[in-house]
Amino acid sequence: MFKKTAKETIAIQTKLVMPNDTNPMDTLFGGRLMAWMDEIASISAFRHSGRICVTASINNVSFEHPIVAGDFVTLEAKVSRAFNSSMEIFVDVSVEDAMGKRKKCNEAIFVFVAIDQFRNPIQIPDLVPETELEQKRFDSALRRKQLSLVLAGRMKPSEATELQSIFETE
Ligand SMILES: CC(C)(COP(=O)(O)OP(=O)(O)OC[C@H]1O[C@@H](n2cnc3c(N)ncnc32)[C@H](O)[C@@H]1OP(=O)(O)O)[C@@H](O)C(=O)NCCC(=O)NCCS
């Protein structure tokens, strides 16, 4: 099966935060941002696999700075590693205020699974990292996959080869 570079999987979207996207504190509702991140990550997953993909897990969502109505929010999704049918996708979120000042405000890590017409997981292309950051995220992705599987009850801690220092087993 052919390979794809991380760059080929990039999906970018910019949103204007409207009053109906905000909570009673007038900051962006976290659930709305989650939906935007899920959507952009699914586009990146499709660009990598060329298949319909479903969200298998969402890990490490962090909300570092509040986002307010009128801000421009840019979401960038990129596949960091592909396994057999699953792929890890980083979503980096930055915000631009009314003065044009831009800063990174959120990050999330998604796992998507490519499926066939019967909803069965299907093989996807390998991913080739090119930049230093892409290589770093690629190298650490197996550790995060195992952690996600252990937390979901899909893997025994004793089988998580990359996590032995966390799950000390006799
Ligand atoms: C995700 C799904 C397709 C997995 O199907 P499954 O029959 O359990 O298949 P498998 O156990 O073979 O897992 C398939 C892949 O997903 C990975 N996976 C499954 N759950 C995972 C999790 N919680 N974290 C990380 N990876 C996970 C497996 O490791 C495997 O990866 P690999 O093929 O790259 O090695 C299935 O559980 C599903 O359809 N879930 C619902 C998805 C959905 O509706 N999402 C939207 C939520 S509203």
Ligand 1 site, residue 51, Cβ cutoff 6 A: no
Ligand 1 site, residue 4, Cβ cutoff 6 A: no
Does residue 170 lie within any of the structural domains?
A: no
The model's pLDDT over 26-51, given as tens digits with 9 standing for 90+, comes to: 999 999 999 999 999 999 999 999 99
What pLDDT, on the 0 to 100 scale, is given for residue 164?
82
Measured in whole angstroms, the distance separating CA 121 from the mean position of its chain's CA atoms is: 19
Residue nearest to atom 9 of ligand 1 (CA): 121
Cβ atoms of 92 and 137 closer than 8 Å: no
Ligand 1 site, residue 121, Cβ cutoff 6 A: yes
Tell me the CATH number at 30. Answer: 3.10.129.10
Measured in whole angstroms, the distance separating CA 104 from the mean position of its chain's CA atoms is: 15
Range of the domain at 22: 3-129
Around 132, how many Cα atoms within 13 Å sit in the side-chain half-sphere? 0
Does residue 147 lie within any of the structural domains?
A: no
Number of domains in the chain: 1
The answer on pLDDT for 169 being more than 70 is no
What pLDDT, on the 0 to 100 scale, is given for residue 170?
55
The model's pLDDT over 59-108, given as tens digits with 9 standing for 90+, comes to: 888 888 889 999 999 999 999 999 999 999 999 999 998 788 899 988 89
**End-to-end CA separation in angstroms for the chain:** 40
